[in-house]
Amino acid sequence: MKDIIIVRPERCKGCNACVRVCPAPEANITKKLDNGNIITTVNVDKCIGCGECLKVCSHNARDYVDDTAVFMSKIKDERMVIIVDPAIKLAYPNQWKGILNWFKKRSYTIFDGGFGADIYVWAMLSMLDSKNVPNMISNSCSAVVNYISMYHPSLIQNLPPVCSPTLCAAVYIKNYLRRNERICVFSPCIARKYECAETGLIDFSVTFKKLMEYFQKNDINIPNENYPDLNYEFSEKIANIGTLNSRPGGLCDNIFNFRQSPNVIYSSGQSRCVEQITNFSKTQSSKLPDLLDILACDFGCGLGPGSNSKNSCFDVIDSFKNLENEAKARAKGKVKWGDEKAFKKMDEELELDDFIRTYTPKRTTPNPTDADLEPVFNQMGKTTDKERNYNCGYCGYHTCRDMATSIFRGINTPDNCIFHVLSNTQTEVKKDDEKNAKYAELTQQLSEKAKTIAENMSKIDDASVKTAEKKDTVANLLKNIIAFCNKNSSMDEASVKQMATILETTMNSLESFDENIGEANEGAKSVKDTLNEINSLLESVKED
């Protein structure tokens, strides 16, 4: 699978906001660059496509890709069937009809995705009645299915073996309408691209946001209008109750409309979903509901990451209520809301086996043992139980153990741990303090050595002409050392290096000084001994 969530490294600040909200423990790779910056990229094989990281990235470092560009490149040469998610009415309340009409004018078939949700409700009722799959978790949400397949594969047995609402629509188009054109789905869902690729039933997944960005970029104007109603003349079947499936508890309500006995509950929002799925996997079946209706996005598909909706949660709830009223009004005079006859035609025309789907578990990295994490904690500078359970959350993970696990898996770095950074900083500060103390001591000692050199220079006699010629050279170099020591009242690393260079030149010149002076000249001997002492002092500091 190609990348869905993409990262612009130059914009990433390493703030860990994306890691903090991500429900997939292996989906992010945090690393330290050569320039010292810490950035987080995406592990495409472990990402579930929920899009939570897009919502919290304030640096605009993350984006996603869908099939909009490829799909739109086919506009002139190919006619397709477009399945439209009902959430388009929430994302673009004053433009959605104009968008669909733009494609309809180009001879595209516009299919109501809500009808696929009608089929899905019909199939789920059959599943509940048969009890072949007890304790089901709804598979309407692609991100939820991805999460279970990847991080809780034991719960695959609890996913109903039927197609999602969008895939039900695709099966109906292919098998019952006998359409052989390629199919594209318009939706607010990034993760839907996964199920399209895995099943092969849908060729292109286009999000509302990227579609509108394409229109704007290519100067395609879709006017804003105040539509009097939510009706639209779709090319084929029109949805009834399925329209509500994309709101929190929508499937739940639809089930209750037709069955009063099932124990059905619902949930939405990735943090609650993760918690409930985890608890679901640990709870004995007798305590579990017949169906857990679950959606990854808060307030359902109306605020999906690909919707680009500016609506508040209250706008979305109100819009869903309008969709419900519109669906009930449309059904009036045909069948009563919740009447079993609503599915009589489906019972007569459809075969449940046509809408069956299987799932493939995805491989994840096994959890490390305590022994595996021991060297990792030590690398982080955490040696006590208290240090290993700070759980400050700076790194983006809930616990220090989770962070250590990510380092063990090679998808994070100790440099992203605030405890490790502070410990290293404190160690460096201590080293700097110790070094500065040595520099101060060195400065005082060099000052004393400079006085000794000055006193002994006058004792070097002019024993020979050759000596006299070289004496001036050596004397000038020695004066440089004295001047350097007097000028640098406080030594540091740079001045130590500079002093070492001057000293080396002076000592080389002194070595070539007239051998006749040698041991006989006490002044020269004393100067040479002093220079050797200075060299030893410098070497001791450089070693630290």
pLDDT in tens, 348-363: 899 999 999 999 898 8
- How many domains does the structure of the chain reveal? 3
Does the pLDDT of residue 517 top 60, yes or no? Answer: no
- For residue 377, what pLDDT is reported? 94
Nearest to 254 by CA among 293, 301, 302: 293
Specify whether 265 is located in the same domain as 332: yes
In a domain, 369, yes or no: yes
Spell out the residues 6+ positions from residue 141 whose beta carbon is closer than 8 angstroms to its own.
189, 191, 294, 295, 296, 297
- List, for residues 361-404, the tens digit of each pLDDT value: 988 788 999 999 999 999 998 999 999 999 999 899 999 999 99
pLDDT over 50 at 490, yes or no: yes
In this structure, is residue 333 part of a structural domain?
yes
Provide the pLDDT for residue 516: 47
Q: Which residue has the higher pLDDT, 426 or 495?
A: 495
One-letter amino acid at 531 equals: L
Same domain, 223 and 308: yes
- Above 50 in pLDDT, residue 463? no
pLDDT of residue 465: 43
Flag whether pLDDT at 543 surpasses 70. Answer: no
Q: Which domain holds residue 169?
A: 75-205+213-355
pLDDT band per the 50, 70, 90 thresholds, residue 303: confident
Least confident interval from 325-334, 485-494, 524-533: 485-494
Q: Are the C-beta atoms of 116 and 192 separated by less than 8 Å? A: no
409 part of a folded domain: yes
Shared domain check, 280 and 132: yes
Write out pLDDT tens, residues 94-131.
999 999 999 999 999 999 999 999 999 999 999 998 88
Cα–Cα distance for residue pair 250/243, rounded to 1 Å: 8
CA within 13 Å, CB half, 66: 32
pLDDT of residue 424: 65
Lowest mean pLDDT among 181-185, 219-223, 310-314, 410-414: 310-314
Dist CA 302 CA 123 (whole Å): 24
Sequence-separated (6 or more) residues with CB below 8 Å from residue 258: 121, 125, 338, 340, 343
| Residue 459 in domain | yes
**Residue 360 counted as domain residue:** no
Mean pLDDT of 299-303: 86
Q: Determine which of 201-210, 405-414, 437-446 has the lowest per-residue pLDDT on average.
A: 437-446
Shared-domain flag, residues 99 and 178: yes
Residue that wins the pLDDT comparison between 2 and 83: 83
The whole-number pLDDT of residue 520 equals 46
- Please state which of the ranges 4-18, 143-157, 214-228, 240-254 shows the lowest mean pLDDT: 240-254
Q: What is the pLDDT of residue 365?
A: 84
What mean pLDDT do residues 411-416 have? 92
**Residue 497 pLDDT exceeds 80:** no
- The H-assigned helical ranges of 96-153 are 96-104, 113-130, 142-151
Which position has the token pair 């440089």? 480
- What CATH number did the domain enclosing 22 receive? 3.30.70.20
Span 299-325, average pLDDT: 83
Say whether both 299 and 382 belong to one domain: no
Question: Which among 312, 330, 355 is the end of a domain?
Answer: 355
Are both 9 and 101 inside the same structural domain? Answer: no
pLDDT at 24: 93
Q: Do residues 228 and 85 both lie within one domain? A: yes
Q: Are residues 22 and 120 in the same domain?
A: no
Mean pLDDT, the chain, integer: 84
Residue 68: inside a domain, yes or no? no
Q: What is the pLDDT of residues 132-167, one digit of tens each?
A: 898 999 999 999 999 999 999 999 999 999 999 999
Residue 448 in any domain: the answer is yes
Q: What's 528's domain CATH number?
A: 1.20.120
**pLDDT, mean of residues 322-342:** 67
- Same domain as 400, residue 439: no
* pLDDT of amino acid 418: 84
Could you tell me if 348 and 382 lie in one domain? no
Please say if the pLDDT value at position 523 is more than 70: no
Quick one: 110 and 254 in the same domain? yes
Q: Which residue has the higher pLDDT, 483 or 183?
A: 183
Going by DSSP bridges, is the β-strand pair 183-187/204-207 parallel, antiparallel, or unpaired? parallel
Percent of the chain predicted with pLDDT > 70: 76
Contact 453, 476 (CB under 8 A): no
Contacting residues for 224 by C-beta, under 8 A, at least 6 apart: 94, 95
Mean pLDDT for 194-205 is: 95
Domain co-membership, 185 together with 333: yes
pLDDT at 177 over 80: yes
pLDDT, position 80: 95
31, β-bridge pairs = 39
pLDDT attached to residue 299: 84
Q: Evaluate the CA torsion angle 245, 251, 253, 256 in order and state its sign.
A: positive
Domain assignment of residue 184, yes or no: yes
User: Which residue in 497, 527, 522 sits closest to 509, CA to CA?
Assistant: 527
